[in-house]
Chains A and B, each alone.
Chain A
Amino acid sequence: MATSAAVRSSMGLTLRLSRVIPDCSTCSLYRLRSCVNSAANLQRTGSADSFRTINRHLQTSIGLYHSEEGSSNAEDPEDVVNVVYIDRSGQRIPVKAKVGDNVLYLAHKHGIELEGACEASLACSTCHVYVNAAHFDKLPEPEEREDDMLDMAAMLQENSRLGCQIILTPELDGIELTLPKVTRNFYVDGHVPKPH
């Protein structure tokens, strides 16, 4: 468990620090000439749409794990997912994201103050967000480990999720993610939390 966690965390860090570009030469599909999207195959088949196709492939496969950078600039409209973050002061921040983006790392990319202390390993609740009703039900059910960590989050609500577990799909277009006002300075109703 410790080893896989270490791999996951180092992988996260590496992908975060480097540009997300896959190295096709290490993939068995590429070597077997079975990858329909690889540059070599597209050159072989002479596909005119090669560039756009590669980008789509990059986005969905890498993005499923740690898409942080939004790796390419070519914007395929079918890939775009519009997201709105609502920060702790209530400010709405619209963001143009892509299918496969991870909500936590997307927030980081846009300077939104969503912490991810454990780096998406389901070992903390610092990326806790509220999901708007219209999109909440479109998310896949949380796994037990996510529910366990959500139980630790302050101001848990019915529509609470961990941002690091939300991966954008086309049907999540328009999703709104609100950062919980978890600190005393933001209790607008004068609520004083119970002392520990």
Chain B
Amino acid sequence: VSLLIGCTSLLRPPSGSAGITRCGKACYSSCNPKVCIVGSGPAGFYTAQHIIKARQDVEVDIYERLPVPFGLVRFGVAPDHPEVKNVINTFTQTAKHSRCSFYGNVNVGKDVSIDELQQAYHAVVLSYGAEGNRSIGVPGEGLAGVYSAKDFVGWYNGLPNCRELSPDLSCETAVILGQGNVALDVARILLSPIDSLKKTDITQPALEALAQSQVRRVLIVGRRGPMQIACTIKELREMVNLPGTRPEMVATDFEGVAEALKDVPRPRKRLTELMLKTALEKPGEKEQERRNKASRIWGFRFFRSPIEVLADPNHNKIAGIRLAVNKLEGSGEGAQAVLTGEEEDVPCGLVVSSIGYKSLSIDPSVPFDSRKAIVPNIMGRVQQAAGLYCSGWLKTGPTGVIATTMNNSFDTARSLMEDMDSGTLDLSAAKPGSQSISALLEKRGVKPVTFSDWEKIDNVEMMRGEASGKPREKLLKVEEMLQVART
């Protein structure tokens, strides 16, 4: 009640003074600062969390294109990493805060423009991540049997627009380009015993396809050497310990590596030591026995860049991949791969390109750096665009885990708070926030999905999962999600 004192909107009737919205949240004075966040993955939610905690008067609305929230936590984190998904509990708490509202099934850029959002809110934070792929850029890339890791992961994690990927797993050898954690996730899912996958939230179609898979050998290929590998030790350890598999490495790839370890920071040192041990050390009796019994093989191949995907002339699908042999110039993180002129053909039936995600421009009115594929910004403030901010991968590029995105988002939230406190962001005029946007959407025939609607979807998925001993059986089509949301 005392929020109205000193507020300029006293001079005209306040639109949207205290009342209860459809989802039961209190509608405070229209003078409250209103922030809109585009994207409901970790970046969106961590930014929201920090803003809500920092100021007691800010109202935050999160818009999401899909009917379901959580972005890559739901669609990117591997099914056999359920603990990483615990962060959903934190995000759920934020979504249920009285000053936070979730609006799913709203396509920003199509159903509503950034400009319209900026008119309705004091600040707009872009946290929509990176939904595009970096292309390999070689002939044959479009052949059947070549997939981006983003799509492959989306397929086994139930991302609606990857539902029909139907990857052909009838070949013996798969080649993964790239050696980051996503590459290792793909390798691990391809080679995991079906019994371990059966109890996860991997989609049923993917589980069935993997149960029939003939893939027995996965090569994880990188341009540079062991010291430049981008994956982290947890994921490497999981491969080393993967039941039913054995490692197959090229010993010469590791020449000089042990000697170079002396001056290297701890994370790189521990990771490289584990790789060296796996690649070079003679295993103990028990481990040797385990390896002898293993029917599936995995290995790194270093100093190799793709130059062409080779077609099987009779079947219009992939027969192999031609790789250029590199050597390293320089050392450490800055080492460069340089062509030697040598080439190597690797027969395979599946290529998964795991060389990075890429952000896309959402709206021509928003500045976008197409070279770096990010929104140009300083500390999360979008350059040359007042009231516009960005967080997450859209801000820094598509690398980093949830913890990285968390820090990144807190940074943006802090910039936003500074701007509110200093007056850089003009809070004197009241903004209508979701009231006007909801009216716009209704006019356009778009019906948002609320957080409690999502909870209906959540419950249906968990119930369906129970029948097969899985934590959930994900709904795979947007139409199905909307159907459940509307019950």
Contacts and interface: CB of A to CB of B under 8 A. Distances in A.
Contacts of B270: 147-148, 151
Given A6-B471, A183-B407, A151 B397 contact: no
Contacts of A5: 82-83
A149 B270 CA distance: 12
B410 A123 contact: no
A152 B232 contact: yes
A1 interface: yes
A156 B89 contact: no
Given A151-B233, A152-B267, A182-B407, A121 B83 contact: yes
Contacts of A6: 82, 471
B234 interface: yes
B81 interface: yes
Interface in B193-239: 196, 199-200, 232-234, 237
Given A6-B82, A148-B233, A124 B87 contact: yes
B283 interface: no
Interface string A1-42: 111011011000100000000000000000000000000000
Interface in A110-156: 115, 117-119, 121-126, 145, 147-149, 151-154, 156
B411 A184 contact: yes
A190 interface: no
A77 interface: no
B227 to A, nearest CB: 15
B35 interface: no
A117 B379 contact: no
A2 B237 contact: no
Contact of A117 (B86, B265, B397): B86
A124 B397 contact: no
B133 interface: no
Interface string A155-187: 010000000000000000000000000111100
B374 to A, nearest CB: 9
Contact of A122 (B83, B89, B414): B83
Given A117-B90, A185-B414, A195 B397 contact: yes
A196 interface: yes
- The SS class assigned to the B binding surface is helix
| Range class of the B interface residue count | 35 or more
Nearest to A16: B89
Contacts of A118: 83-84, 86-87
Interface in B400-425: 400-404, 406-408, 410-411, 414-415
Interface in B69-116: 80-84, 86-87, 89-90
A182 B414 CA distance: 13
B241 to A, nearest CB: 11
A151 B200 CA distance: 27
Contacts of A153: 403
A195 B90 contact: no
Contacts of B400: 196
Contacts of A124: 84, 87, 401-403
A122 B399 CA distance: 21
B414 A9 contact: no
Interface in A38-84: none
A3 B466 CA distance: 12
A126 B266 contact: no
A50 B266 CA distance: 50
Among A1, A13, A153: residue with most chain B CB under 10 A: A1
Contacts of A149: 234
Nearest to A182: B407
Contacts of A1: 80, 196
Nearest to B393: A196
B87 A185 contact: no
Given A147-B270, A151-B232, A123 B404 contact: no
A196 B404 CA distance: 11
Contacts of A13: 89
Contacts of A183: 407-408, 410-411, 414
Given A117-B86, A126-B402, A156 B266 contact: yes
B396 interface: yes
16 contacts: A2-B200, A5-B83, A9-B86, A118-B86, A119-B86, A121-B83, A121-B86, A123-B83, A124-B403, A147-B270, A148-B234, A151-B266, A151-B271, A154-B407, A183-B410, A183-B414
For the complex of A and B, the 5 pairs showing the least CB-CB separation, nearest first, are A121-B83, A151-B267, A123-B83, A117-B87, A196-B399
Given A117-B406, A124-B403, 11 more contacts: A2-B471, A3-B199, A9-B86, A13-B89, A117-B402, A121-B83, A123-B83, A185-B415, A195-B396, A195-B397, A196-B399
